[in-house]
Structure 1
Amino acid sequence: MKKQNIKIGISIGDLNGIGSEIILKTFADNRMLEFCTPIVFANTKLMSFYKKHFDVNTNIQGINDASEAIEGKFNVVNVWKNHLKINFGKEDTFLGDFAFQSLEAATAALKANTIDALVTAPIHKKVIQSEKFKFPGHTDYLAQALEGESLMFMISENLKVGLLTDHVPVKNVPQVITEKLITKKLQLITHSLKADFKVQRPKIAFLGINPHSGDNGVIGDEDDKILKPTLEKLREQGHLVFGPYAADSFFGTKNYENFDAVIAAYHDQGLIPFKTLSFGSGVNYTAGLSRVRTSPDHGTAFEIAGKNEANHQSFQEAVHAAITIFKNRKEYQKLTKNPLKKQGKKL
């Protein structure tokens, strides 16, 4: 009996951004339909407009619910019936509501298991704000919707970077980082490496909070008072955690290659080197949730929206990552329920 394809739900993102373009270009390659069944939460008329605009050969299958998705087709759930005017590259709060409707419907399908994993196209974080969406990004929204802890985890083939703090203003970072937060984020990343990436004994590096990890208190004392003592406790508990390392030289010396993952203290400390080393092939993965969610490693790119210039590689990698992580997690769940199988023994 043929196994069913994994159902990948896709939220459309900002309608004036590049989301539609990278989605359509990804599935214009029919080989992608052999790996998964795509289900886009939007509107067939809108997707037909995008298809014509970008001259992309993707056959659209309109459906009313994700449960109706047809394998081997590019399925579009009709979340709304409105006729919408698209102005590529423009901020539009009216359209921001439809980006949220897409995300909300996709998340509901994820919770109902009518899709197996979710890939989100980029939203405009200002435009999408409303009474229903008061979050700095997808990660926080999904953590609440799925009632779980979350970790922003940037992944590529050779580099994985998790964040202690993600969308937090730099001025607030030192106050946010506590022993409790460090321990929680380590637990999330350790579990993800084991369950989602098949790393049996994760080896993890921490980057210092301050320049040169504080230089023994000369440039801030947060590393000495919070980070170093916490890491020492975690090492005593058996975790393979190392650091804190000075962030300015860590990536240039390729020290990251010695670890399964790196945990950065704040957003730009981790994402600038990650995107420098992996841009176009990197994926933003929300670890720690009960469901799988990935996204490309870039934003709405208003400056090129509608010009047919967007590179869809990162979105395609996000789809592949969602498929792989979903499969790995299923396997991990089976092994942990029956650990003797892992050892090759019969019950």
Structure 2
Amino acid sequence: MASNRPAPEFSSSKDPSNDAFGPRSETWEEWNPTEDSVRPVRGRHRVARQRGGLARSSTVLGVGVIAAVGAGGIATAQGGKPAVHLSLPDLSSVKDSLPEAASLPGVGALISGGSAQSGDSGGSGGSGGSDTAATPLTTVGNGTSDAGEALRTRILAQAETQQDAADAAAQRAAEEAAAQQAADEAAAKQEAADKKQAAEKKKAAEEARKRAEAERLAELAKSYKLPVASYTLTGTFGQPGAMWSSGYHTGLDFAAPTGTPIHAVHSGTVTEAGWAGAYGYRTIITLDDGTELWFCHQSSLNVSAGQKVSTGDVIGRVGATGNVTGPHLHLEVHPGGDATGIDPAAWLRERGLTP
């Protein structure tokens, strides 16, 4: 290691008696630092410029080589290209011209390694430097290849997972659609069955109602009877004509020979029996519900007012008295004793009789 230059002698220009620290004129000893006595510098450090700045140039050269190697590795990793082999220059001449450069931290080791490989290779420093630099780049290239393969594997695995999830979702959607369709079909079938059952019930209820009505009418018919056994209908209710004072026919005409027996349609009380002008001889029977039955144009009367009669009793005989054109029984029905009557044919049908 080269020694430092001796420090010049320092003399104080002031009077030692006036200096609080004593005389300043003294000789400084030569200080030669060694590797053991000097603490290694960490972090950034500056190398003293010696002999025209060649040491600094060597440092810059070493840093440039390291940067080039790192840039090559990064380019290989980013671009996915094969490892690039770089050749380092022969630094033996630099070592000869800069013997003190070997003492610099970092740079000296680089120069020593380069010269050793140059000596071993018999003067071909370029190829030795290329082998030294190719090893880390090849490692970087393999690492990049392995990382790319791992990334590709992860992407494929993720894509497969997503595809499996999509397939599972599609399967669930298909199953839900099938279940919904089956539920809709079942609901439609159930609705059709319910409608059919409701229609059958309605039909059965209607038939039962008709049977019950028929039975009721049959039973009721036992207590009702047509007024004339043998007859011909010659006039209906509502029939228009000038011969009637109201302008229309107000009853039902049973044409029969004079003297044909007239029967009580239903049991009740005779409230009138006598002459009634245009009606001729008339008998009125009031039923228990207040309905009045008028039997008109009789040739003779067999009952009197206040008399109780039963269904089928003979109350008079067919005649042609009053305003008539021939012998017949004119029958009128007045619910509640109202002056305006209703259709006798409909009233009789409601009680199981067909005039």
Shorter-chain TM range is under 0.3
**TM-score, normalised to structure 1's length?**
0.18
TM-score w.r.t. structure 2 length?
A: 0.17
The structure with more radius of gyration? 2
